[in-house]
Amino acid sequence: MNKPLRRIAIFCGLLVMALLVRDNWLQYVKADTLKNDTLNRRVAIERYATPRGDIIVDGKSITGYKKTTGSDFEYKRTYKDGAMWSPVTGYASQAFGATQLESIEDGILTGNDDRLFFRNTLDMITGKKKQGGNVVTTLNSAAQKAAYQGLLKQGKGAVAAIDPQTGAILALASTPSYDPSTFAGNSTDTDTKAWQKIQKKADPDDPMLNRALRETYPPGSTFKVVTAAAALENGLYDSADDKTDSPLPYNLPTTSQPLNNEGNLPCEDATMREALRVSCNTVFGKIGADLGKDKMTEEAEKFGFNAEQFVPVRSNASVFPKKMDQPQTALSSIGQFETAATPLQMAMVASAVANNGELMKPYMVDKLQAPNLDVIEQTEPESLSRPLTEKNAQILQSMMETVVQKGTGTNAQISGVTVGGKTGTAQHGVDNSENPYAWFISYAKLSDGSSPVAVAVVVEDESANRDDISGGGLAAPIAKSVMKAVIDSKK
């Protein structure tokens, strides 16, 4: 072969090699990236070519599907009581993608999960159409309904309810809400308009905000439960009924600024039981200052503060500030200053106390099912931490039960059931200029000593008379209805 031909042959060989390398790069290395690229319309067409699997509550689907017309997307998602369940399901929209369980478990619901490969291969051989699997939740439909309907009467707010013994989420409600069915398709006339209508810039109440998981509020006096736990765990006080070293009036450390109570309360040297019953700022503010920021932070973090939770939907991290002086530590210890919590977080606090000091990891997916209902994955309860010893947890239970028996939480009483709780009215706005948030955290205990539910409720009622806003008045009745719904469903 002469020299020019040899050069041409080598050049052609290099071109073929480059083509093979590029082809293998696209087929194998970049395959998953290209497959999941949002600009790849074939992915979306394939996702909506078959009916989506269901999200299940109490053995019944809260989702469905509907055939579409005039679109290359064959099926679209439908929802039953969509506004009530959207904080759990999120949405699956042909035009706007998916969120929450619809997004996290998309592989199972569409049938594209790698764990369904063998079944999908068999279906392809036999000519059977691919099907999506199911997501079975831990939710309790009666509790969710009680939470949602209770919030609707108050306007804005959220509820989180947990089974203290397992961490299973029983209710997760948020208002105002939205119906994901209204924009599940891709019509510019209907779906796009429905989507635009519920965006925050069009609706300042922000109905798409999941207040149970994604909004952090000042927890107010409900945080005193954490401060009481810190006092017991660090040996500052050994009993609920020993008098505390609590002067009245009490000035914030290193200042001449008094820390006031809400009214003329019997807080001077009050026992922790009495201080929690009437909600003494002075007693718990001083406890926080005496313990110091490090011990308070350590206890708060054992309850889950300063960390995101994944249930599997992400919940914002609740905040207990780490950079504080003594006065700020005192304020943080009564749920003010920069302390902020999600409703899920405060349900976790009540849950740990109810479960004799052990905090279970919260979760809301019980299992994932193949289309033939075979279990692909089962969630096992998992311990997250132990904020309290069993002895101290039981002391704190007795304090919270006094709050409901003859304190600020009497509206949560349930006949024949022992209820422990704590109210909170949290400051809101610059210099507390806006209506405060009404909080209530609680748990129910049955005659056998078991605790099937712990609840946190927060209410934002901007239209209420400021003097009428209280955790016991607005939030406790909702918590009561949720707890009762769970208890009744177990009978």
Q: Tens digits of per-residue pLDDT, 277-294?
A: 999 999 999 999 999 999
8-state DSSP, 432: G
> Which pLDDT score is estimated for 421?
97
Q: Which of 92-101, 275-284, 292-301, 432-441 has the lowest mean pLDDT?
A: 432-441
Span 210-221, mean pLDDT? 96
| Rounded (to 5) percent helix, strand, coil in the chain | 40, 20, 40
Whether the predicted pLDDT of 466 surpasses 70: no
Whether residues 343 and 217 fall in one domain: yes
Full-model pTM: 0.89
> Which pLDDT score is estimated for 431?
46
Q: Name the one residue in this structure whose structure tokens are 């099937």.
A: 452
299-357 per-position pLDDT tens digit: 999 999 999 999 999 999 999 999 999 999 999 999 999 999 999 999 999 999 999 99
In a domain, 93, yes or no: yes
Whether the predicted pLDDT of 71 surpasses 80: no
In a domain, 21, yes or no: no
Whether residues 466 and 344 fall in one domain: yes
Span 405-411, mean pLDDT? 95
Whether residues 93 and 232 fall in one domain: no
In a domain, 464, yes or no: yes
Whether the predicted pLDDT of 477 surpasses 90: yes
Q: Between residues 351 and 472, which one has the greater pLDDT?
A: 351
In a domain, 205, yes or no: no
> Per-residue confidence at 5, pLDDT binned at 50, 70, 90?
confident
> Per-residue confidence at 7, pLDDT binned at 50, 70, 90?
confident
Q: Is residue 135 within 8 Å of 55, Cβ to Cβ?
A: yes
Task: For residue 239, give its domain range.
Answer: 213-365+384-489
Whether the predicted pLDDT of 192 surpasses 60: yes
Whether residues 85 and 217 fall in one domain: no
> Which pLDDT score is estimated for 1?
57
Whether the predicted pLDDT of 190 surpasses 50: yes
Whether residues 102 and 232 fall in one domain: no
In a domain, 148, yes or no: no
Q: Is residue 441 within 8 Å of 303, Cβ to Cβ?
A: no
> Which pLDDT score is estimated for 257?
94
In a domain, 389, yes or no: yes
Q: Of the residues 137, 164, 186, which one is the last residue of a structural domain?
A: 137
Whether residues 223 and 115 fall in one domain: no
Percent share of the chain, pLDDT over 90: 75
Whether the predicted pLDDT of 464 surpasses 60: no
CATH of the domain at 96: 3.90.1310.10
> Which pLDDT score is estimated for 432?
47
Whether residues 116 and 239 fall in one domain: no
> Which pLDDT score is estimated for 195?
97
Q: Of the residues 137, 164, 196, which one is the last residue of a structural domain?
A: 137
In a domain, 108, yes or no: yes
CA dihedral of 358, 361, 364, 370, whole degrees rounded to 10 = -120
Span 86-110, mean pLDDT? 95
The total number of structural domains in the chain stands at 2
What is the number of other CB atoms lying within 10 angstroms of the CB of residue 1?
8
Whether residues 221 and 112 fall in one domain: no
> Per-residue confidence at 69, pLDDT binned at 50, 70, 90?
confident
In a domain, 166, yes or no: no
Whether the predicted pLDDT of 465 surpasses 80: no
Whether the predicted pLDDT of 115 surpasses 80: yes
Whether residues 289 and 434 fall in one domain: yes
456 burial level (CB within 10 Å; 0-12, 13-18, 19+): buried
| Residues tagged active-site | 221
Whether residues 106 and 245 fall in one domain: no
Query: What is the sign, positive or negative, of the torsion defined by CA atoms of 138, 142, 147, 148?
Result: positive
Q: Is residue 180 within 8 Å of 90, Cβ to Cβ?
A: yes
> Per-residue confidence at 463, pLDDT binned at 50, 70, 90?
very low
> Which pLDDT score is estimated for 436?
79
Q: Of the residues 137, 171, 198, which one is the last residue of a structural domain?
A: 137
CATH of the domain at 414: 3.40.710.10
> Per-residue confidence at 129, pLDDT binned at 50, 70, 90?
confident
Span 230-255, mean pLDDT? 96
Span 14-39, mean pLDDT? 72
> Which pLDDT score is estimated for 478?
97
Q: How many residues does the chain have?
A: 491
> Which pLDDT score is estimated for 11?
81
> Which pLDDT score is estimated for 434?
55
Sheet containing 453-460, strands listed edge to edge, beginning at the edge strand earlier in sequence: 169-175, 156-162, 453-460, 434-445, 418-428
Span 40-47, mean pLDDT? 74
Whether the predicted pLDDT of 427 surpasses 90: no
Whether residues 286 and 397 fall in one domain: yes
User: 248: helix, coil or strand?
Assistant: coil
Average pLDDT over the chain, rounded to an integer: 90
